[in-house]
Structures are given as C-alpha cells and as structure tokens.
Amino acid sequence: MTIQQVSRLSGLSEPTLRYYEKIGLIPAVDRDRDSGHRRYHPTVVETIKALGCLRSTGMSVQDMRAYLRHLDEGAQGAAPLRDLFRRNAERLEREMELMAVRLRYLRLKAEMWDARERADADTERRAIDEITGVIDAL
C-alpha cells in the first residue's frame, strides 16, 4: 500500500506516518525500486491501524511503544497491557470531565448573553452566578 492509502485507512497523516517510522515506532518501510516511494507491507499496515486507534484516544507515543513491546508476550504481557489501558481510560475520563465543565461554561455564557439580549436581569444574574462557580472548576 502507498503512504496515501495507509493514511486514509489508519486516520494518521502522512507526516505522522513518516515520523513514526523515523522514531522506530513502526519498522522501516520498504521502498519501490523505481520510484523510491514507500510501500507498506500488510503486517505493518495492521500495526499502523492499531496505532491509529490508540492515537485517536490520545495515547502517548511512549505508551504506544509499551503496547507494541508487550503485544507478543502472551500471558506475560497481559498485566502490563491491562494497566496501560486502565491508566489511559482513567486519563481519558478525566479529560471528559474537564470537557463537560468547559461545555457547561460555554452554555452558561450563551444563556447569559441571551438573557442580556432579552433584558432578563434575573436570568442573567443566575447565569453569572453559575459561571462564577464553573470558572473555579476550570
């Protein structure tokens, strides 16, 4: 497969694919003898698809390295992989909680400006009071 095809399939940009190759996250990719363009072997493509999934969760390159390192260890790799995925799930959960606070802030600001437009001072004051509480959580 070409780099463009792998990029579309994995969701990783072409520069990201080149970077992952450069840092050794994926093995060196064979080149077409005539054009010099990268040609990805199906087994490498499967690894890249997995990395694309991991990256979409916000997993770090360090954790992706650990994932790849423990993959072929069978039962011995199970505990480190379980811990890796639990840790990343907890990280993502914290990020989602923060995103919910940010969303609440934006909705309250919209409510405040809507109230101001309608000259509804009571609703505007309530929105401002709630915004003040949300700001502390940001």
**CATH code of 42's domain:** 1.10.1660.10
| Of 40, 37, 46, residue with least CA distance to 5 | 40
pLDDT for position 8: 97
pLDDT for position 93: 98
Specify if 39 maps to a domain. yes
Beta-strand runs (E) in the chain? 30-31, 38-39
Specify if 9 maps to a domain. yes
Specify if 40 maps to a domain. yes
The tally of domains found in the chain comes to 1
pLDDT for position 24: 96
Specify if 101 maps to a domain. no
pLDDT single digits (tens) 37-90: 999 999 999 999 999 999 999 999 999 999 999 999 999 999 999 999 999 999
Specify if 128 maps to a domain. no
Specify if 34 maps to a domain. yes
pLDDT for position 128: 96
Are 52 and 40 spatial neighbours (Cβ–Cβ below 8 Å)? no
Using CA atoms, how far residue 129 sits from 30, 97, 107, 117, in Å, is 61, 21, 13, 18
pLDDT for position 30: 93
pLDDT single digits (tens) 7-40: 999 999 999 999 999 999 999 999 999 999 999 9
pLDDT single digits (tens) 83-133: 999 999 999 999 999 999 999 999 999 999 999 999 999 999 999 999 999
Specify if 5 maps to a domain. yes
For the chain, percent helix, then strand, then coil, each to nearest 5? Answer: 75, 5, 20
Please give the residue range of the domain that contains residue 12.
Answer: 1-56
Specify if 50 maps to a domain. yes
